[in-house]
Amino acid sequence: MKKAAVIGAGPAGLMAAEVMAEAGLAVTVCEAKPSVGRKFLMAGKSGLNLTKDEAGSSFRAAFAEGRKPLTPMIDAFDANAVQAWAKGLDQEVFTGSTGRVFPVAMKASPLLRAWMTRLAAAGVQTNTRWRWQGWQGQDLAFDTPDGPQTLAADVTVLALGGASWARLGSDGTWADILGGKDVPLAAFAPANAGVLINWSAHMAKHFGAAIKGVQWTAGPYTSRGEAVLSAQGLEGGGIYSISRGVREGHPLVLDLLPNMSVAEITAKLSKPRGKASLANHLRKTVKLTQAQIALLQEMARPLPDGLRATARLLKAVPVQNAGLRPMDEAISTVGGLPFEALDEGLMIKELPGVFAAGEMLDWEAPTGGYLISACLATGRWAGQHAARWAG
């Protein structure tokens, strides 16, 4: 029986392991951390967003430059396939109002437990605390609790993650190993990251407040999602999805009233103000929350004179920031293995018999189901082609 090794036990690695086991290979999964799927479990703490139920063209468009190489993989394991896969693990799913798909349990742990049980039944062996060190001759080399170990494999799938959340296993150190083998790599950078803002002291009482019903823009990237005021700046899906624009140097602009025109806002602001403060007038006339007003005053003090000038400001508040949060705090990263370094089956051209999948590939997508869905799709694709290559 041919032997396959999978290095990295996130969703991409586990999917590759399952596909290769189904193809009749003896599969061993090696994970550096004490347990599998740590980042997967963390993603599930706020509700495991498995995929997004939307038209294929819209779904693929979310991957920007990665769209073309990822298209055959995503089409082969699309949102419907992801849902069927979860149901095959006895995890019922539902689709929210925005098209995002979640397990009814909302957590990752029931799904991961069922998945690991199924993998074990298929004969997949799992070694934890096995940190990959490269190769020793033709064999894979690892640091383990029992000292250095080697593993012989006819084919290998690398699913080592990007370079964010090192404490969960994605530390990007694998780049040094592959770089030493003359594999071309793209530099890592944060993706789906929070924005760093050096707040004044009076903002502290608003930390934890959500900014909802607004529109965020950074260059060509726009989001209607919400953000949360934190001690470090702005977090949340609305910010993560336009963080690429901030990373590229575009100004961050906030539209506090995206469903109203400047003329409509001016008309509402023209109502008699009396002795009310401007903050109270904004709250009563255009329904801004205290947190929104605080953010407005923080970014545009003093506020302009004149109703129309104020209305224009509400439509385009300049959000002064110091860039993105550090890469290790980002949800994901861009960079890693460029598709040019891989063949159509995701085999590394410089390393015959070694395939790659998941976030270690150089693609970027916003949160909202795209990340996990593409990790599953690339893991499945790499596993299928690895099995064919071994055969």
Q: Name the pLDDT band for 198 (thresholds 50, 70, 90).
A: very high
The 10s digit of each residue's pLDDT in 116-134 is 999 999 999 999 999 999 9
The alpha carbon torsion through 177, 178, 179, 184 (nearest 10 deg) reads -170
Q: Name the pLDDT band for 368 (thresholds 50, 70, 90).
A: confident
Q: Name the pLDDT band for 246 (thresholds 50, 70, 90).
A: very high
Backbone angles phi, psi at 175, to 5 degrees: -60, -35
Place of tokens 């468009």: 61
SS3 338: coil
What pLDDT score does 291 carry?
97
Is the link from the previous residue into 302 a cis peptide, with omega within 30 of 0?
yes
The 10s digit of each residue's pLDDT in 278-303 is 889 999 999 999 999 999 999 998 88
Comparing CA positions, the residue from 104, 65, 7 lying closest to residue 358 is 7
Comparing CA positions, the residue from 169, 127, 134 lying closest to residue 43 is 169
Residue 94 CB neighbours (<10 A): 12
Q: Which whole number is the average pLDDT over 16-25?
A: 98
Q: Which CATH superfamily is domain 3-189+331-390 in?
A: FAD/NAD(P)-binding domain (3.50.50.60)
How far apart (Å, rounded) are the C-alpha atoms in residues 93 and 36?
22
How far apart (Å, rounded) are the C-alpha atoms in residues 334 and 186?
8
pLDDT, the chain, mean: 95
Q: Where are the domains of the chain?
A: 3-189+331-390, 195-318
How far apart (Å, rounded) are the C-alpha atoms in residues 363 and 371?
10
Pairing of strands 195-196, 233-235: antiparallel
